[in-house]
Amino acid sequence: MKNNSLEKIAEYIQKNDNYLIIGHIDPDGDAIGSIMAFKFLLNNLNKNSILLLHADLRKEYEILFKYLNPNDYYIYQNKEELSKLKKYSNAIVLDSANIDRLGNFKELIEGCYKVNIDHHYDNSKFGDLNYVNSNESAVGKIIYDLTKIISIDIEESIGTAIALAVLADTGSLKYPNSDPDSFRLIANLKEKGIDIVEINRFLQSFSSLKYLKLLSKGLANINVDKTGKIAWLVLSSSDIKEIGIDDKEIKNLVNYPRDIRGVEVGISFVEKQEDFIDISFRSLNYVDVSDIAHKFNGGGHPRASGTKIEGNLEEIVNKVLTEVKKNV
């Protein structure tokens, strides 16, 4: 359960071959950018590897998929097919605090030699090798450091993937985790010709008109408590049905309550299916929202966390707000 050095991990990767590469389920930009960057890193070392994808993200992340061939990745179809992947003896697990975050691939990965690279402070260090550093803004930053240790050239593909990972987890260098190293990384990649403007535009644009319509419903349902420090957005399953949006597209809504001036904790309650509520928490300066998420069987970082709860939407909103108020 100890932490290894990044040098040790670099050494292992160079000595071995045949890698599965995986990030957490419901991937965010850091998870996708990191697994892609790792694929390009292993290609550069002439290692055999394949990306494991929980769902088909080819259209959404065309910005990165354009650098891949169809045999570079496997998109989950069914359990039976996974036996084909048993020839890979090593697994690189990225941005995943524990093995349950690997969804349908969990058992497959459990049978491999696991290299666990992450920045969640509550990472269970489930790997055979672990590099967990919660001071890093993104897993993409750790992979950037690995490219320096192994002396890998930053080509457009890996540079774009790393920049996307770091810009996603730092909110394009706006969040409190945007440390000087994150700024330096982006500056260095920009100097190497990576199109930072295009990546930021990708991250900050709306995925579709349906998303914008759903957002307008969510914005109509934002509340702020008496102190002005807690704001929350609520979307019911009937709101979502009415728009007819694919629930994979529903993300980042928590940024809106969080972005109200004076607010310390922003929360989104999204009832993706009737009585199944996705909750995201964001905080600005001092509230540890991972603590709050843990109380409801969730997880995350001190300033960004989440959970899923089954039950009546209104009751859950009240229950969670009561808990949040104790912490603000």
Strands 73-75 and 90-94: unpaired
Q: Which of 136, 169, 264, 278 binds Mn ion (CB under 5 A)?
A: 169
Nearer to Mn ion by Cβ, of 169 and 271: the residue is 169
Q: How far is CA 244 from CA 1, 124, 175, in A?
A: 45, 38, 32
Nearer to Mn ion by Cβ, of 168 and 233: the residue is 168
Site for Mn ion (CB under 5 A): how many residues? 3
Q: In angstroms, rounded to a whole number, what is the distance separating the alpha carbons of residues 268 and 238? A: 16
Nearer to Mn ion by Cβ, of 169 and 239: the residue is 169
Cβ atoms of residues 47 and 17 within 8 Å? yes
> Among 89-97, 213-221, 287-295, 313-321, which window interacts with Mn ion (CB under 5 A)?
89-97
Nearer to Mn ion by Cβ, of 61 and 88: the residue is 61
Nearer to Mn ion by Cβ, of 30 and 271: the residue is 30
Q: Which of 30, 136, 239, 271 binds Mn ion (CB under 5 A)?
A: 30
> Among 88-96, 208-216, 259-267, 303-311, which window interacts with Mn ion (CB under 5 A)?
88-96
Q: How far apart are the first and last CA of the chain?
A: 34
* 278 is a contact residue toward Mn ion (CB under 5 A): no
CB 93, min distance to Mn ion, A: 13
> Among 26-34, 77-85, 185-193, 229-237, which window interacts with Mn ion (CB under 5 A)?
26-34
Q: Which of 95, 136, 239, 278 binds Mn ion (CB under 5 A)?
A: 95
Q: How far is CA 1 from CA 31, 119, 129, 171, in A?
A: 23, 15, 9, 31
Q: For Mn ion, what does the binding mask look like between residues 191 and 220, x meaning CB under 5 A?
A: ------------------------------
CB 147, min distance to Mn ion, A: 18
Strands 129-132 and 304-310: unpaired
Cβ atoms of residues 149 and 7 within 8 Å? yes
CB 301, min distance to Mn ion, A: 8
CB 137, min distance to Mn ion, A: 8
CB 276, min distance to Mn ion, A: 24
CB 30, min distance to Mn ion, A: 3
Nearer to Mn ion by Cβ, of 95 and 239: the residue is 95
CB 95, min distance to Mn ion, A: 4
Q: Residue numbers of the site for Mn ion (CB under 5 A)?
A: 30, 95, 169
